[in-house]
Chains A and B, each alone.
Chain A
Amino acid sequence: MTPPAAREEIPITADEDVVRVRQAVRSYAQKAKLSLVDQTKLVTATSELARNTLTYGGGGTAVVEFLTEGRRSGVRASFQDDGPGIPDVDLALTDGWTSGRGMGLGLSGARRLVDEFTLDTGAGQGTTVTVVKWSR
């Protein structure tokens, strides 16, 4: 009855790895029976986070996991890098704020698109962002 525990690790070192992350997340989201809207929200959120890992974290690793809890299933994706970290989390989570040349909506937007969002970072500590989306 219980589906097999599934987990995939994807190194993020180049542009095409972001595509790879999106593809993996989409197939996990389908397996978790997320609706099309939720699949798209999760894929888009992870696309943002993977790109941040690459652009600001200097590369890192994505881990995509299939979750079950009672009757619901879900997907957890985490993005870890050993880059410079984020010194001011509130600022980074402000809509429209970017230290680079982006739209500044990746972090804050990703947080709105998922069910659970945790950000573990600090100046000089690297960054780990974990998101979860559940089937409903």
Chain B
Amino acid sequence: MTTGPEPTDNLAALLRAGTGALTRRWIELAAAPLRGRLTVAELERELTELFRALVAAVESGSRDLQSEPYAEVRALLSDMSRHRARSGFTPTETAVGVFTLKQALFELVDRAEIEGDLREVLAFSLLLDALGLLTFETYAKAREEVIDEQAEQLLELTTPVVKVWEGVLAVPLVGTLDSARTQVVMEKLLESLVGSGAEHAIIDITGVLAVDTQVAQHLLKTVMAARLMGAECTISGIRPHIAQTIVGLGIEFGDITTKATLADALRHALTRSGVTISSGRG
């Protein structure tokens, strides 16, 4: 990304002299593909600020986007890309914001409206390529975040409390349990206990990746609350690596019944309610 060791301020001078014409044309070009999904005023504010930061960075003599003088440029660009990604713009529509500056510069140099020698223009072009790549990277990251969030929201909506037997409810917990979601699920379970009058609840954690103290605390509180409501909870599906980790943390489940599998837990609940089950093995 660095184009030469000797610092040149020529490029900065060129950009500074052309500021008016350049930003005007840049905004014009960048606005076209966005077709009004971003107001021109917004775009103008963004690009003017980016241009100012860019000129200041170029003035330092460095052409390396990763260097200290470019910190503000990187930050502005990241914000811009993240915002675009979150607002549903495509990666191309996002990167166009950077690459159109190149086009604006080429046009103006071509029409001799601003003076620039080839070396400067090339150096700047390389720098803009690096900026474009950074845009893509940030965009991709932001999209991933959006997808993660959506996946989590979906999980929250789809966590089912099911009646597995007369008087027995079960709730399977899946994935990464952050506090917010565990809380939602637990509240839903307690509500369902009230609604159904069930006397047993099974919380199955087979699908849970890790149980930390916060998740454990939610589990324990739910079991206690269920007891106060006259229902007995069983926790099932504690796999060996989770069990070892829980022990390592020092969490004690006290007198709470735990079972290896959901089926074991169900058998336990039914036995407690006086249902006789004949073994499938016999």
Binding site for B on A (CB under 8 A): 15-16, 18-20, 22-23, 26, 36-37, 39-41, 43-44, 47-48, 51, 95, 102-103, 105-106, 108-110, 112-113
Contact = CB atoms under 8 A, between A and B. Distances in A.
Contacts of A37: 240-241, 244-245
Nearest to B251: A105
Nearest to A26: B209
B213 A105 contact: yes
Contacts of A41: 244-245, 248
Contact of B209 (A15, A43, A106): A43
B178 A106 contact: no
Kindly list the 10 A-B residue pairs having the minimum CB-CB distance in the complex, ordered from nearest.
Answer: A109-B249, A47-B212, A37-B241, A103-B213, A40-B241, A113-B248, A44-B210, A105-B250, A36-B241, A40-B245
Nearest to A95: B250
B183 to A, nearest CB: 11
Contacts of A44: 210-212, 245, 248-249
Nearest to A39: B241
17 contacts: A15-B178, A15-B180, A16-B149, A37-B244, A40-B210, A43-B210, A44-B212, A47-B212, A47-B214, A48-B212, A103-B213, A103-B217, A106-B213, A109-B248, A110-B249, A112-B249, A112-B250
Nearest to B180: A15
B145 to A, nearest CB: 8
B210 A22 contact: yes
B211 A109 contact: no
Interface in B167-191: 176, 178-180
B180 A102 contact: no
Contacts of B176: 19, 22-23
Interface residues of chain A: helix, strand, loop or mixed (majority): helix
Nearest to A113: B248
A51 B212 contact: yes
B245 A16 contact: no
A34 B121 CA distance: 50
B242 interface: yes
Interface residues of chain B: helix, strand, loop or mixed (majority): helix
A107 B210 CA distance: 17
A51 B214 contact: yes
A130 to B, nearest CB: 18
Interface string B189-220: 00000000000000000000111111011000
Nearest to A104: B213
A20 B176 CA distance: 10
B250 A109 contact: yes
A112 B210 CA distance: 16
A102 B249 contact: no
Nearest to A23: B176
Contacts of B242: 40
A16 B240 CA distance: 27
Contacts of B210: 22, 40, 43-44, 47
A89 B216 CA distance: 24
Contacts of A112: 248-250
A79 to B, nearest CB: 14
A34 to B, nearest CB: 11
Interface string B50-87: 00000000000000000000000000000000000000
A20 B141 CA distance: 12
A103 B245 contact: no
A110 B240 CA distance: 18
B223 to A, nearest CB: 14
B142 to A, nearest CB: 13
B212 to A, nearest CB: 4
Contacts of A113: 245, 248-249
